[in-house]
A and B are shown apart, each in its own frame.
Chain A
Amino acid sequence: EIVMTQSPATLSVSPGERATLSCRTSQSVSSNLAWYQQKPGQAPRLLIYGASTRATGIPARFSGSGSGTEFTLTITSLQSEDFAVYYCQQCDNWPYTFGQGTKLEIK
């Protein structure tokens, strides 16, 4: 099973600034990686798939990069609604697995 490691566990950033979240996989997943956002009391929402493609309706301030074992989610000009928990997920190898999440909080 591929192990997903997200860092940091918690990230404190001020509104309007940039947030950079990392996801590392225990073996290469090529570009078969997604990012999800989850707010309290809600289901996760797909943000990025294929490591770098924004899902439908996702603002351009969200971007994904990376391939192989190292991936990054960048959120520029943070808005109040962006403070949430973010998960990465690989779909290269069954069983598909999620990272443990990064909580993005207001500084």
Chain B
Amino acid sequence: SQQGEEDPQALSIQEGENATMNCSYKTSINNLQWYRQNSGRGLVHLILIRSNEREKHSGRLRVTLDTSKKSSSLLITASRAADTASYFCATDTPRSNTGKLIFGQGTTLQVKP
């Protein structure tokens, strides 16, 4: 079953603007990760935030996590045309040695030059 649900499903912005994507999940988690997928390609890991963290930065990426609301957001600042891709959140569950990641449906981001 799909754990994470991203919102919005699609987002179109101009280059230089900020893009915000949200993810909600249903059960308790060890951590939450964000991945990027260029069209027709594999996924690439962007950032991981642990369940005891509230905010994390990596370059132009900012991730927040609210475990009380079971939600996370990914902010891409000063977007570029090269940021055009689909973005997925993924969670895994505590007390599991399988490392299974459950992905949401993704947000498709288009950045217009």
Answer yes or no: do A and B interact. Answer: no
Instruction: Please list the residues of chain B having a beta carbon within 8 angstroms of any beta carbon in chain A.
Output: none
